[in-house]
Copies of this chain bind each other. A is one copy, B any other.
Amino acid sequence: MDGSSPDRLVLYGETVVSRLLLGTAQYPSPDRLARAVAAGGAEIVTVSLRREGTGGTAFWELVRASGARVLPNTAGCRSVSEAVTTAHMARELFETPWIKLEVIGDDDTLQPDVFGLVEAARILCAEGFEVFPYTTDDLGVANRLLDAGCRVLMPWAAPIGTGQGVSDPYALRSLRARLPEVVMIVDAGLGRPSHAAEVMEMGYDAVLLNTAVAKAGDPVAMARAFGLAVEAGRLAHLARAIEARDMAAPSTPVAGTPFWTDP
């Protein structure tokens, strides 16, 4: 990677430079949201649908003004039909074929219902949607989503909102290794920039965050921190980090140091 070949991310034919995607919920104010998006350098933000009459429109004007591409989600959907209908409403309203597909299987863990997810993905892909499925780190599910027509996957790092970072590093590394060509964005469970850097170092293509930024003490500074960490992780992946090793090794060469005699 040098200056002449910038490192870009292509999602369903759309090219972006930033590998940080941001959710738009839970910020202390619309202004902080706008500034966080700018500070993080995010070019894509997620949005949702609400029942008319339950809030204002300031948020939406502000997102439009930001120039960011929107990725609508189907948050809160607990069945295939709810998710499919929500996707259609989102496509019409936001004028984009992109949909972050969530089919939630458990109200406590908010984990994906992988059966409903695959079925909804199959329906939506067939209807021309460009689906970003929020899924687990299960390789078999990933393969079925690809078979269904998905060209991007969004595996979780840990349950939504826990902020605990990668729950199963082995599984996430294994998924990356088995699907080296697929664009995969880690979604959910990251709490700190080091977590985001870690998954980027593993070779994931991008990171989607919401709570970790929006609920930080200073969301704007935290967005910037995550933006830097994602870039750091990406660079490190391309620059090939050293392997961890069990034995210590001196960084300063020992031969030639004063007083040195073989131990």
Q: Which residues of A contact B (CB under 8 A)?
A: 1, 23, 25-26, 48-51, 54-55, 73, 75-78, 82, 85-86, 89, 105-115, 118, 136, 138-141, 143-144, 158-165, 167-168, 170-171, 174, 178, 188, 191-195, 197-198, 201, 210-212, 214-219, 221-222, 224-229, 231-233, 235-236, 238-260, 263
Tell me the nearest residue of chain B to A110, going by C-beta: B248
Could you say which of B141, B162, B240 contacts A245, with CB atoms under 8 Å apart?
B162
B108 with A178: CB separation less than 8 A: yes
Main SS of the interface on chain A?
loop
Q: Could you name 30 residue pairs across A and B whose Cβ atoms are closer than 8 Å?
A: A23-B252, A51-B256, A51-B258, A76-B252, A106-B139, A108-B178, A109-B248, A115-B141, A136-B138, A138-B138, A159-B170, A160-B251, A161-B245, A162-B246, A162-B248, A163-B241, A167-B168, A170-B246, A192-B236, A193-B229, A193-B235, A194-B201, A197-B229, A216-B236, A225-B233, A225-B236, A226-B232, A228-B231, A229-B232, A232-B232
B168 with A171: CB separation less than 8 A: yes
Tell whether A162 pairs with B244 under 8 Å between CB atoms, given A194-B201, A251-B23, A251-B26. yes
By a CB distance below 8 angstroms, the chain B residues around A251 are 23, 25-26, 75, 160-161, 188, 210-211, 214
